[in-house]
Amino acid sequence: MASFNTEREGQTAFYQTFLPLVAPSLSLDDILADDNDGVLNGNLLEFKLRVNDLNSVLFQCVKYLSALRIKGKPVPANIIIVDLNGEQAYLYENFFSGFFMNFLVPHAEINH
């Protein structure tokens, strides 16, 4: 079971594990450029040490998407909420296309 003390610690471990597999040309600075937890391959990522209220985290993600739209940047289609210490992720697929699904996606254990 993971036991991160800060979201940044968990983000760093997550990206060090998965970024080389998904987009090795990107750096952590490239992903964290818009005051959110990351946009990667059409996905907005939001990290929490523990997700206690999924709706409030989702509302926070919608605010981030709105900020991207106002800046004239592409709005990611999907939202991935990562529960770092719970070692699971929630995928909201095709969020703005009228098709709204919530999948619970366990992610691999992150060694730190």
How far apart, in whole angstroms, are the C-alpha atoms of residue 3 and residue 78? 26
The band of 97, judged by pLDDT with boundaries at 50, 70 and 90, is low
**Where are the chain's structural domains?**
7-106
DSSP letter for 111, please: P
Backbone dihedral angles phi then psi of residue 9, each to the nearest 5 degrees: -60, -45
Do the beta carbons of residue 37 and residue 76 sit within 8 Å?
no
The yes-or-no verdict on residue 110 having pLDDT over 70 is: no
Q: What local confidence, expressed as pLDDT, does residue 78 receive? A: 92
Task: Indicate the pTM of the whole model.
Answer: 0.80
How far apart, in whole angstroms, are the C-alpha atoms of residue 87 and residue 64? 23
